[in-house]
Amino acid sequence: MSVVRVVGVVAVLGAAVLVGLALAGRHLAGAPVLLVVSTVAACLAVAALAVQPWLTRRRVGVHVRVGGIITVLVVLHVVALLVEDPDDALYSMSPDGPTRARMALIATLLLGVVTLLGVLRRRLRWSPATWRFVHGSLAALVVVLGVGHALLIQGALDGWGTPVLLTLGGLGAVGAVVRLVRVLRAPPPPGDATPPDGGRVRSGDGLRG
Amino acid sequence: MPVPAPRTRPHPVAVTAVLLLVAIIAAALWRSEESGTGARDVGGEAVPVTAAAPVPVTGATCAPTITNPGGRNNYRANAPLDVPLGRGLVITGVVRDTACRPLPGVAVQVWLQTALGSERENRTTVLTGPDGRYRVSSDPAVAQFGEPNVHVAHDVDDGWRAVFLRNVVDSEDTLATVDLTLVPSS
């Protein structure tokens, strides 16, 4: 079984455990539907973040689709909180919010940038190395800050949720770093060569991760 | 003769920008307060006998309490008087003026999330006693937006300026102590 499949299985199991813990726990018992939706969306997003960096090598199409799903899940998570409890949600997103909320805010903004970089890759006309470095670095920050935010939150994922979050976050962070190092160290494939221009502009840039 | 494909490196500007961004994020997190700006951990364990309010020293001054960020979150005016909020956590404190004299008969509103309900439903108003102390018995606080917190406010226009506080506790805490020092509203 390939590494990607192993990571995928772990991510699916992790998502199932997180969602199960959240739904079975005391914290969401009798909670408003929007809070439940927000929590489940966050659990699924964490699991998807774990597998996402591992899809960049040979499964770029899946990587793009999973990236879109993560963005939708995070938007759902935030919007549900905003509708359910605007006072606390806006406070959390303000400069006075607690550290865990600041991590989430930065991760969300970076996720938006990472998604935009993916959408605008061809138009940006950056060299592959530059694009991959920026996209991969920011994605690694999204994983670290997003999962760190989940770890600091008290509530639905306390207890057994912590090691599961650590496992999923570790997989995502290691995957992002490994991929980043591999991309930076490897010479570009034939036809993907960029003149030694300092990595500014290249032509014919394909959608490779 | 084939020319070996040149290696490319990320543009130095991109590398610098990412490193700068990482430094800015680290600084932003380092400068943030764990529970939010101005939020104190006011929790602890209840003692069997409630301590009497300290006798003010002549000429002493107490720093006025200032509304902290998030203090008004989920505030609703006109909370009913002496609503039972459960057992397990006592929220108490002394209300004083800036000369450190206790203020009797002053309204204090308390609201928090417990197993009984969210911050929006779970609230009561109590009056301070002759020694300026108020006391609310509640079910233990439950995490609200990632951390259990307790709101205490003086919100009635009775000659003393309104003040709204959001402080944090642990879910196992049995006591939360929040003193207020009020300033005249005129």
pLDDT at A130 over 60: yes
The pLDDT tens digits of the residues spanning B138-149 come to 999 999 899 999
The pLDDT tens digits of the residues spanning A112-129 come to 999 999 999 989 989 888
State the complex-level ipTM: 0.85
Contact B74 A26 (CB under 8 A): no
Other Cβ atoms closer than 10 A to A208? 16
* pTM confidence score: 0.86
Is A198 part of any domain? no
Residue of B nearest to A130 (CA): B10
Please tell me the distance from the alpha carbon of residue A118 to that of residue B118, in angstroms, as a whole number. 40
Is A84 part of any domain? yes
Q: Quick one: which of B168, B73, B41, B28 has its CA closest to A101?
A: B28
- pLDDT in the model for residue B50: 55
Is A200 part of any domain? no
CB B137 within 8 A of CB B84: yes
Is A209 part of any domain? no
Instruction: Calculate mean pLDDT across residues A163-191.
Output: 83
pLDDT at B113 over 50: yes
Is A201 part of any domain? no
Contact A103 B8 (CB under 8 A): no
Is A205 part of any domain? no
Helix axes A33-51, A161-185, angle to 10 degrees: 40
Number of domains in chain A: 1
Is A166 part of any domain? yes
Contact residues for A35 (Cβ-Cβ < 8 A; gap 6+): A28, A80, A81, A84
Instruction: Calculate mean pLDDT across residues A2-23.
Output: 93
How distant is the Cα of B161 from the closest Cα of chain A, in angstroms? 22
Query: Any idea what the CATH number is for the domain that residue A93 is in?
Result: 1.20.120
DSSP line for B53-96: PPPPPTT---PPP-PPTTTTTT--SSPPBT--B-SSEEEEEEEE
**Which one-letter DSSP state was computed for residue B175?**
E
Cβ-nearest to B6 among A32, A102, A195: A195
Is A192 part of any domain? no
How many residue pairs from chains A and B have C-beta atoms closer than 8 A? 124
